[in-house]
Amino acid sequence: MLKIENLHARVEGKDILKGLSLTVKPGEVHAIMGPNGAGKSTLGNVLSGRDGYEVTEGSVVFEGRDLLALEPEERAAAGVFLAFQYPVEIPGVNNTYFLRAALNAQRKQRSEAELDSMQFLKLVREKLKIMQISDELLHRAVNEGFSGGEKKRNEIFQMAVLEPKLAILDETDSGLDIDALKQVAQGVNALRSPERAFLVITHYQRLLDYIEPDFVHVLADGRIVESGDKTLALKLEEHGYAWVAERDPAPAAGARA
């Protein structure tokens, strides 16, 4: 589904990703862990097409297409979804209106029929059951005045409605207390399916107690330096990131899971 090879990327003239390789198959959940500044968020931003990230080397192929050649909206229509670390507040734009416009824009790009307001409402009701989110939030402006937990739940709710093939969660656990974290994880787990893959980017192992990954990768200095199963996350929790660097400073061959 997703094949990243030898990816190099820079931001504001500074090299951040320095040869990252990763392969993700449908249905898999990959956790990307690493210390601050390792390039975790850069990976999410490069994959979703944010301006200001310059890819200097390497390739990203998503479902046989060159992902890096696509505009952000084309990536979305192709099935890539980024749950933001800091969801943006957009005053004046109604949450439901925005979500319907987004879904229909994607469907249009995929040459699928657009949903009318009745069909969309029905879909929203179904998805509301998955994600505990109050009706009231849907009628407010996008993320405006939402609490930290509400913003993250809204991201997962958007994901539920847009039904991407690849979901990238960028530090979705940051700023959440344990109850909010559980709610978000529940929503994510409900969306796991054999067709859908997840890239869970996180600094802490905590989130992985609730979203159980198939693979864990350690990102350090722009490369994946260690890969393993979920027990790797526990070792990291115990020993800290310094442990990886000391044990195996060279890029790990096992990065291609």
Partner 1 sequence: MSQSPASLPFIEGLRDAANLRLPGSGHAWLDAARRENLEAFVAAGLPDTRAEAWKYTTLRALGQRRFALGDAAAAKHAVDPHTLVLPGVEGPRLVFVNGVFRADLSRLDALPAGLTLQPLSQVLERDPEPLRFALSRHYRETGDVFAQLNAAMAGEGVVLRVAAGARIGKPVQLCFVGAPAQGELAWHVRNVIELGEGAQLNLVEHHLATTQNKHLGTLVGDIVVHDGAQLQHVLLQSAAEESTLIRRSSLRLGAKSQAALYALELGGALVRHDLHAELRGDGARIDTRGVFVLRGRQHVDTQLSIRHQALDTASESVWRGVADERSRGVFRGAIVVAEGADGSDASLSNKNLLLSALAEIDTKPELEIYADEVKAAHGATVGQLDERAMFYLRSRGLPQAEARALLTAAFCRAVFAALPNETLRDHFSHALIAHLP
Query: Which stretches of the chain bind partner 1, using CB under 8 A?
Result: 48-51, 71-73, 75-77, 81-82, 84, 87-88, 90-93, 98-99, 101-103, 105-106, 109, 141-142, 158, 162
The answer to whether the beta carbons of residues 11 and 54 sit under 8 Å apart is yes
Three state DSSP letters for 78-108:
HCEEEECCCCCCEEEEEHHHHHHHHHHHHHH
Contact 29, 166 (CB under 8 A): no
Question: By C-beta, is 30 or 75 nearer to partner 1?
Answer: 75
Comparing CB distances to partner 1, the nearer of 51 and 177 is 51
Closest CA to 48 of 87, 16, 28, 74: 74
Report the length, in residues, of the chain.
257
Compute the distance between CA of residue 133 and CA of residue 140 in angstroms, rounded to an integer: 12
- The CB-of-164 to partner 1 minimum distance in angstroms stands at 10
Q: Hey, CA dihedral for 174, 175, 181, 187, is it positive or negative?
A: negative
Q: How far is the CB of 52 from partner 1 (least distance, A)?
A: 9
Name which of 105 and 257 has its Cβ closer to partner 1. Answer: 105
- Least separation in angstroms between residue 92's CB and partner 1 is 3
CB-based burial label for 176 (10 Å; 0-12, 13-18, 19+): buried
Cα separation, 216 vs 39, in Å, equals 16
Q: How far is the CB of 88 from partner 1 (least distance, A)?
A: 4
Phi/psi at 172 (5° precision): -60, -20
Nearer to partner 1 (CB atom), residue 170 or residue 221: 170
Task: In angstroms, give the least distance from the CB of 168 to partner 1.
Answer: 10
Q: How far is the CB of 80 from partner 1 (least distance, A)?
A: 8
Is the CB of 158 or the CB of 183 nearer to partner 1? 158
Cβ proximity to partner 1, 72 vs 249, nearer residue: 72
